[in-house]
Structure 1
Amino acid sequence: MSYSFKILKKEEIEQIVPLVEKLDNYTVSQDILKQRFLEMSEQNYECAVIINGTKIIGVCGLWYCTRHYSGKSVEPDHVYIDEAYRGKGLGKQFFNWIYDYVTSKNCEAIELNTYVSNHLSHKFYFNEGFKILGFHFLKKL
């Protein structure tokens, strides 16, 4: 199969909602999700996707910032590949494309969060050379 990778245009952002809804531990309604993605698309955010033919089968949000300890960085967020396409090396291909893309934007580092219970993602990120740096905390207001 032939897959392609691209950055979605802002006006296409709602196309990822069905995939993002499949993430584990997800409790946000579809309406709120659409609203938030529209808002995110106006910030330091881009959305990379994997396409098979005309169908989006994978998604990865990219948040950009500059950090005092790592320089210009990107944070992959809500990474998801449709279950039917897993185990074929597509995640590695996607991340290689992302590495090349963000390097072309002068990023010096990549940081990400993953759920503690998502052991398959931990294995993937360790194999990609990521190291655990700290804990991610959240307080809802």
Structure 2
Amino acid sequence: MSYQFKIIPNTNLDIVIPLVYELNEGTIPKNDLKLRFDEMGQQNYECAVILDKDKVIGVSGLWFCTRHYIGKSVELDHVYIKPEYRNKGLGKQFMDWIFTYVKEKGCQSMELNTYVQNYPSHKFYYNEGYEILGYHFLKKL
């Protein structure tokens, strides 16, 4: 099966809301996601998707910034592939495509956060060459 990887325009971010809603197990209302993605589209954000024909089956947000300890960097966010498409090598293909894309944009590193209890993702990212650098802390205001 042939899949397409591409960056979607920030004016078209609504197409990833169903996947991000699924990723968060419905804990964030779709309307809140819509408002947040509208705002994200005005920032240093791009969105990569995996398409199976015209159907969006995977997503990764890309936040671009410059960090004092590594230089130009991209942080992957809300990486998600629909369950029925997993364990077929698609995640690796997607990461390879993203790597090439951000390298061409001059990035010197890729970073991401993953939930502590998401053990399958830990194994996947280790196999992709990621290392644990620290802990991500959050305080809701």
Instruction: Give TM-score scaled by structure 1 length.
Output: 0.98
Aligned position for 2:109: 109
Aligned position for 1:53: 53
Alignment partners' CA distance in 1, 2:72 and 2:26? 29
* 1:57-76 correspondence runs (5 A): 57-76=57-76
1:44 pairs with 2:44: yes
Offset at residue 24 of structure 1 (A): 4.4
Aligned position for 1:13: 13
Aligned position for 1:85: 85
Offset at residue 139 of structure 1 (A): 0.4
Offset at residue 115 of structure 1 (A): 0.1
Instruction: Give TM-score scaled by structure 2 length.
Output: 0.98
Q: Which runs of 5+ in 1 are unaligned?
A: none
Aligned position for 1:127: 127
2:61 counterpart letter in structure 1:
G
Aligned position for 1:28: 28
Alignment partners' CA distance in 2, 1:32 and 1:18? 12
State the identity as a percent.
61
Alignment partners' CA distance in 2, 1:24 and 1:124? 19
Q: Which runs of 5+ in 2 are unaligned?
A: none
Moved over 4 A (4+): none
SS at match of 2:49: strand
2:133 counterpart letter in structure 1:
L
Offset at residue 4 of structure 1 (A): 0.5
Deviations 1:8-47 (A, max 9, x none): 1112100001101111465211101001001101100000
Number of aligned pairs? 141
Deviations 1:54-109 (A, max 9, x none): 00000000000000001000000000001110010000000000000000100000
